[in-house]
Structure 1
Amino acid sequence: MHLREATPADHAALHALWAGTPGIQLRDEDACAPFCAYLARNPGLSLVAETDGRIVGCLLAGHDGRRGYLQHLAVACGYRRRGIASALIAAVLQRLAVQGIAKSHVFVLDAAPEALAFWRARDDWSERGDIRVFSTVEQIR
């Protein structure tokens, strides 16, 4: 397995991986143009895992200058339980640390039991019960 930075050329393969991963909910922001803008705004932070030239995992990451945010951690079904997700997380957190970001967050949908179990089983992450997330979508003209 080889980790490398995600590129705009990876979008179609990543979108297919996300679409086939239970617990990942695709939205308009996952289209190619917003994906490319995200990579440009957060250079070097989003990674893909490849095996035999095939993308088998990914993790998008960015930060707001204070906190890191991990998104769309996905590993193809036939490649799970091989440490790929852990390797992606470790590499991304290290890249965030180099940029001075020590604390990171991940948002997991209640409707994603596999993802919830994965994050709850990690000793280095703790589930918060003190906040709720509120969202809005503004029309871009």
Structure 2
Amino acid sequence: MQIRAITPDDHAALFALWQRTPGIQLRAEDEYAPFCRYLARNPGLSLLVEDEGAAVACLLVGHDGRRGYLQHLLVDESWRGRSLARALLDEALARLADLGVHKSHVFVLRDAPEALAFWLAQAGWGEREDIAVFSTRSE
């Protein structure tokens, strides 16, 4: 197994992994073209764990120059319990720190109990109660 940067060629395998993972909500931004733009804007930050060429875990990582943003952290069900999520998280935070980005955010769906439990168990991460998140989508 190895952790490596995600490339555009990984999209099909990752999309299939996202589709079969409960708690991941896919949107138009997860399609191929937006995925490629995201990777180009944030080179070398999004990460993949693969075993014999198969994607078993991933984390999308971006930043705005001040804050890191983590999305779609997941481990395929048969690979859970091996600290892969923590390894991806540690590597992502180290790569962001190398760029001078020392604070990060993750948005977790309230109806994803496994994801919520993971983030609540992570040292140094805390649920924000002082802000609300608002979103829009322009066409």
Secondary structure of the residue that 1:34 maps to in structure 2?
Answer: helix
Partner of 2:16: helix, strand, or coil?
Answer: helix
1:46 to 2:46 alignment: yes
What is the TM-score of this pair, normalised by structure 1? 0.97
Tell me which residue corresponds to 2:24. 24
Q: Tell me the amino acid that sits aligned with residue 88 of structure 2.
A: L
> Per-residue deviation at 1:24?
0.7
* SS of structure 2 residue aligned to 1:10: helix
**Alignment deviations for residues 51-78 of structure 1 (CA, whole Å, 9 cap, x no partner):** 1221100000000010000000011000
CA–CA separation in structure 2 for the residues paired with 1:87 and 1:124: 15
One-letter amino acid of the counterpart of residue 71, structure 1 = Q
Aligned to 1:109: 109
Q: Percent identity?
A: 64
| Equivalent runs, 1:72-83 vs 2, <5 Å | 72-83=72-83
The amino acid that maps onto 2:53 is G
Q: State the secondary structure of the residue aligned to 1:86.
A: helix
Report matched runs for 1:1-141 at 5 Å: 1-139=1-139
Q: How many residues align?
A: 139
Moved over 2 A (4+): none
User: What is the DSSP-based 3-state SS (H/G/I as helix, E as strand, rest coil) of the residue aligned with 1:119?
Assistant: helix
32-41 or 48-57, larger mean C-alpha shift: 48-57
CA distance in 2, matches of 1:61, 1:137: 20
Aligned-residue offset at 1:122? 1.0
TM-score using structure 2 length: 0.98
Alignment RMSD, CA only?
0.6
Query: Which consecutive residues of structure 2, in runs of 5 or more, have no partner in the other structure?
Result: none
Counterpart CA distance in 2 for 1:78 and 1:23 is 16
Distance 2:39 2:53 in 1: 21
Is there any run of 5+ residues in structure 1 with no aligned partner, and where? none
What SS is found at the alignment partner of 1:58?
strand
